[in-house]
Amino acid sequence: MRDAMVALAQRGIASIALVHRHSLSLRTTDETFTASGHKFHVIRTGMWARFLYTPISPAFPWHLRRIIKIASPDILHLHMPNPSVFWTLILPSARRIPWVVHWHSDVITSAQGGWMRLVYKIYRPFEQAVLKRAKAIVVTSLPYRDSSQPLEKWLPKCRVVPLGVDTKKYGVPTPVGGASTRRLSITETKSRQSPRDAPPTTCTLQVLAVGRLTYYKGFRYLIEAAAQAPNIHINLVGLGEQEEQLKTLATSLKLQDRVTFHGSVNDTELARQMENCDCLCLPSIERTEAFGMVLLEAMFFGKATIIGDVEGSGMGWVVDDDITGIKVQPENSNDLAKALNRLATNREELLRMGQQGKKKFDQHFEINHAVEGLVDIYREIETNKQQ
């Protein structure tokens, strides 16, 4: 959202963000940030509790009404899933403004349990009411649009606009087909990294995996695959409820020297990880992984990608098999190990995939390209209002 706000401002479209705080707090914060010569306003409402991944924020409707009164926006851009969006259904000031709904993912996926499905029965009527009133629905990929059951009735409203990345935040020169990011030899890497980061000298393929350490990311299959791919080292970036379980798995497979857990990192450190890796692996196992923003980041750095080929996910739309990366069968550590061994023994293919990925990123996923679709939607709505 931040990247899109900056890119839209460069096209003369001003925006204010109303979001939840990331951690539990009763207090709402009023913030500003400056980028590309523009100042942006962000209100973070206090999140009093969290229930089934849902932020509980009683102050949200009050702040929404206040922003509408002060800013008089031409369009409300609503991001779903988020039950706080439902306040727009009952606020008269919100109902008078055209809505654009950004559909990031379905609530229910294949692995959701019975309790979640029961709660969704309550959630769904409000979700469908928002979609009914929306002037346009933004989906991030064709496969996700076509496989989404909640969107079935509203396909004529759906517009595919891929997510994008503002690469300026990494503070590094733009890689050109991966060539400007020189891979260090193992000896050089050891001399420049801390002992915690340094891979063993027997490793030849540096594999980066980034994401929340949770079940649907499929990181357990990547660790299991490492047991069958002796010439790789995994750098795992992220935090989550499965951290201890994954560390225990790595130890049980005697991989503690070939799997490094880095925890949460900032943009600068993530850029360093991207520069130093050979490829990125996102072995997600279900449609909860709706798109895979980290794939775009890897493509910007000219890196080959390996993904779980989940039916209906946008991952397979971002990655072109055997061109920008390799698709493997989800939940299959054997298939994943074959892909890792393939790249470990074929550096020319590794470089070629990275170069093709960088080319695709430049053409479709750099933030200034990605927001053009939003600009078109906004203009269409404004034109229809004036007619």
Tell me the residue range of the domain where 62 lies: 2-164+367-386
146 and 18 part of one domain: yes
Token readout for 155 is 């396909």
155 and 215 part of one domain: no
133 and 190 part of one domain: no
121 and 69 part of one domain: yes
Residue 5, number of CB atoms within 10 A of its CB:
22
Token readout for 198 is 């340094």
Give the total number of structural domains in the chain.
2
212 and 312 part of one domain: yes
Alpha carbons 287 and 141: distance in angstroms, whole number: 12
205 and 235 part of one domain: yes
Alpha carbons 143 and 146: distance in angstroms, whole number: 5
Going residue by residue through the chain (387 aa), what tens digit of pLDDT does each one get? 999 999 999 999 999 999 999 889 999 999 999 988 899 999 999 999 988 778 899 999 999 999 999 999 999 999 999 999 999 999 999 999 999 999 999 987 666 667 778 888 999 999 999 999 999 999 999 999 999 999 999 999 999 999 999 888 776 655 544 433 434 333 333 333 443 444 433 447 999 999 999 999 999 999 999 999 999 999 999 999 999 999 999 999 999 999 999 999 998 899 999 999 999 999 999 988 999 999 999 999 999 999 999 999 999 999 999 999 999 999 999 999 999 999 999 999 999 999 999 999 999 999 988 899 999 999 999 998 876
How close are the terminal C-alpha atoms of the chain, in Å? Answer: 30
CATH number assigned to the domain comprising residue 240: 3.40.50.2000
160 and 180 part of one domain: no
Classify each residue of 118-145 as buried b or exposed e, where b means 16 or more C-beta atoms within 10 Å of its C-beta. ebbeebeeebeebbeebbbbbbbbebbb
